[in-house]
Amino acid sequence: MPPTIQFNDGPSTAVLVLSGRIVAEDDCLLRERIEQTLRSPAPIKAIDCTDVEFLDSYALGQIIYCCTNPQGKRGGIYFVNRSNGGSSYIDRLVEIADLRQIFTIVDSIETLAADDNPEN
Amino acid sequence: MSVFTIPVITDNLQRTDTAAAAICRGLMPSDTAHVFPITNFGDALDYLNMEMPDLACIDFASSELRPFELLDTIVGDPWLLHAGIIAFCDSREDADRLAEIRMANIIDVVMGDEIDEVVPKIMGVIKSNRQILFQRVIGMDIPSNISAAIQLENDTHVASCYANLLANYLYTTNKINRDGKASLSVVVHELLANAIEHGNCGISYDEKTRELDGGGDIQRLIKKRCEDPAIAARRVLFEYTITRASSKFRIVDQGTGFDWRAVPDPTSGANCFMSHGRGILMARAFTKNLTFNDAGNVVEFEVEHAMPNDCVMPGIFRDIEPGVVAPGDIVLREGDISDFIFYIVNGTFEILVGERVVSTLSEEDIFLGEMSFLLEHRRTATVRATTSGRLIKVSKRTFVEAIKRKPHYALLLARLLAQRIERINSARAVRPS
């Protein structure tokens, strides 16, 4: 299925929201969003993969590269996949590719929202 | 030569023209395609019900046609209405919505402005794999394995089409579950992409790293390599065999091979931050028995089918609880009065006339006892279970009521009987005199 790759630019942080099938053929869209993310004054805070059907090694590599290169990495990055109702494919991918070395895996984007609130 | 009859369900006649041109470009000159528009909901449903096409295009931008309601109807009775669907969308929202309808046999979702480019590729894939779609329509009459050997050009989009088509087929015929579908898509896609990139195009690990980290992209690198006619002429051989128990896949490229043992572990140290190098790791993780040959240009793997066949039973029988039989049980007895038919959920049964076994039936034959049932004869043979199994007993009243509700089941039964007669005739034709 075609992917959806949204870039939600918050007041101080940005979230990359992915859904559907994200594979090498979606390279243009993925790169456009990644470049948008890198241009943002707000650093990437999280990648939300809750609604991802699957992503291939190429797309995963691009996301990792984007989020860990010096331009993208400005603090720890959360990787969101709801434990209840999220993508079981992504759960397996987290284990297979050992993504915990790179990201902090969290259950919900909502739990991060509080950190983005300047009053906190 | 193949003949394709493909409805385009749309209220946009220009889209039909675009689709027809793209479909024809994906076929051989000797093939014939009859592509025609269906412009209202009722006609579309009637056509799908009565003609049971193996392929249909549905334009989800034609909101007047209620395409999502049409798809819901199709999904509601997948045993009969299982045309492979090429979905056209104009919005990402519609494409996302389609992604949620997982039981539909959607071969690919194509954005409206990509029909010209993508549909010919899809048709090329479908043409080489038509038996997958056709077997579904024929009604699970799969006495032999499904197998194919296809040569792919160096195009990763085609690789993606194959991954979709096969994963969808195995999923919608309940041979794999939802996780299995995602895993198989990834594995087929990764290994075909590997065969194209590293095999045929000879792109090394370091070269790919430089390209990606320098802001380039792999599609561009593949296209650049294929400017060399010798590389462009290379093909990837993709073979698969689908049996009842498992599906086996084999991918062969025409490159010089590669040392798969030397691929860096992408979870180790700094490698985990690399922009690529996880394809083989993912493919290995999602299969149990992936093997490369020594040269590294042949890879094989097998997927076991974990799901029971009974999930594909006809919708009209789903409310009837199957009865369980044990080996040796007599299901029907010669001379009995017949006022019911059995739908075979699973199991193997021998047909005896007197003490002589004249035939064997299993779930592939779908029904037991349909001749006496239809002709109102007494049973002409005894049926004995040779394995444990499950049968749904359907009375004549239930069957007739079902056919009143869904007349196309009668057409299916007629096709089934015609196939059996054809099979008997074929067996007679090859029998030595």
Q: Each residue's pLDDT tens digit in chain A (120 positions)? A: 445 666 666 666 678 888 777 776 666 667 777 777 767 777 677 888 888 877 888 888 878 877 776 555 555 778 888 766 667 788 888 888 888 888 888 887 776 655 555 444
CB contact under 8 A, A54 and B157: no
Q: What is the pLDDT of residue B433?
A: 46
Q: Tell me if A114 is assigned to some domain.
A: no
- Residues in chain B within 8 Å Cβ distance of A97: 266-267, 272, 278, 281-282
Please give the order of strands across the beta sheet that includes B55-59.
B32-38, B3-9, B55-59, B84-89, B106-111
CA-nearest residue to A30 within chain B is B217
**Residue B325 confidence class, pLDDT cut points 50, 70, 90:** very high
Tell me if chain A has a CB within 8 Å of the CB of B177: no
Q: Look at B309 and B375; give whichever has higher pLDDT.
A: B375
Q: Tell me if A115 is assigned to some domain.
A: no
Q: Centre a 10 Å sphere on the Cβ of residue B191 and count the other Cβ atoms it contains.
A: 29
Q: Is B421 exposed, middle or buried (0-12, 13-18, 19+ CB in 10 A)?
A: exposed
Using an 8 Å Cβ cutoff, are B306 and B176 in contact?
yes
CB contact under 8 A, A21 and B111: no
Q: What is the pLDDT of residue A119?
A: 46
> What is the average pLDDT across B239-252?
89
Tell me if chain A has a CB within 8 Å of the CB of B160: yes
> What is the average pLDDT across B126-139?
60
pLDDT digits (tens, 9 = 90+) for B166-197: 887 787 677 787 778 888 988 998 999 999 99
Percentage of chain B lying above the pLDDT 70 cut:
85
Res B419 pLDDT > 50: yes
User: Domain holding A24: CATH number?
Assistant: 3.30.750.24
Res B311 pLDDT > 50: no
Of A1, A60, A92, the CB nearest to B95: A1
Q: Look at B312 and B301; give whichever has higher pLDDT.
A: B301
Q: What is the pLDDT of residue B385?
A: 95
Please report which helix (H) or strand (E) contains residue B162, including its range.
helix B156-172
Closest CA to B292 of B226, B162, B181, B198: B198
User: In the numeric block, which tokens belong to residue B305?
Assistant: 């089918």
Instruction: Give buried/exposed letters for B97-109 (b at 16+ CB in 10 A, else e).
Output: ebbeeebbbbbbb
In the chain, the amino acid numbered B177 is N
> What is the average pLDDT across B95-112?
75
Res B347 pLDDT > 50: yes
Of A19, A24, A88, the CB nearest to B96: A19
Q: Look at B303 and A41; give whichever has higher pLDDT.
A: B303
Res B304 pLDDT > 80: yes
The per-residue pLDDT of chain B, averaged, comes to 82
**φ/ψ (deg, to 5) at A80:** -100, 125
Q: What is the pLDDT of residue B316?
A: 67
Lowest mean pLDDT among A54-63, B3-12, B302-311: B302-311
**Residue B62 confidence class, pLDDT cut points 50, 70, 90:** very high
Q: Tell me if A93 is assigned to some domain.
A: yes
Q: Which regions of B333-430 does DSSP assign to beta strands (E)?
A: 340-346, 348-353, 356-362, 367-368, 382-385, 389-395
Q: Tell me if A52 is assigned to some domain.
A: yes
Res B395 pLDDT > 70: yes
- Residues in chain B within 8 Å Cβ distance of A21: 99, 185
Q: What is the pLDDT of residue B89?
A: 93
What is the number of structural domains in chain A?
1
Residue A21, domain extent: 4-109
Closest CA to B180 of B266, B81, B246, B267: B246
Q: Tell me if A50 is assigned to some domain.
A: yes
Q: Tell me if A119 is assigned to some domain.
A: no
Q: Tell me the C-alpha distance between B150 and B164, whole Å.
A: 15
- Residues in chain A within 8 Å Cβ distance of B282: 56-57, 93, 96-97
Q: What is the pLDDT of residue B22?
A: 95
Lowest mean pLDDT among A71-75, B56-60, B329-333, B421-425: A71-75
Percentage of chain B lying above the pLDDT 90 cut:
27
Res B274 pLDDT > 80: no
- Interface A-B: count of C-beta contacts within 8 A: 106
Give the predicted TM-score (pTM) of the model. Answer: 0.66
Distance from CA of A64 to the nearest CA of B (A): 6
Res B88 pLDDT > 90: yes
Lowest mean pLDDT among B137-146, B217-226, B318-327, B385-394: B137-146
Q: What is the pLDDT of residue B229?
A: 95
In chain B, what are the domains? 1-124 (3.40.50.2300), 142-309 (3.30.565.10), 313-430 (2.60.120.10)
User: In the numeric block, which tokens belong to residue B355?
Assistant: 């003490």
Of A1, A88, A93, the CB nearest to B98: A1
Lowest mean pLDDT among B115-119, B170-174, B353-357: B170-174
Q: What is the pLDDT of residue B142?
A: 41
Q: What is the pLDDT of residue B428?
A: 65
> What is the average pLDDT across B268-281?
81
CB contact under 8 A, B179 and A92: yes
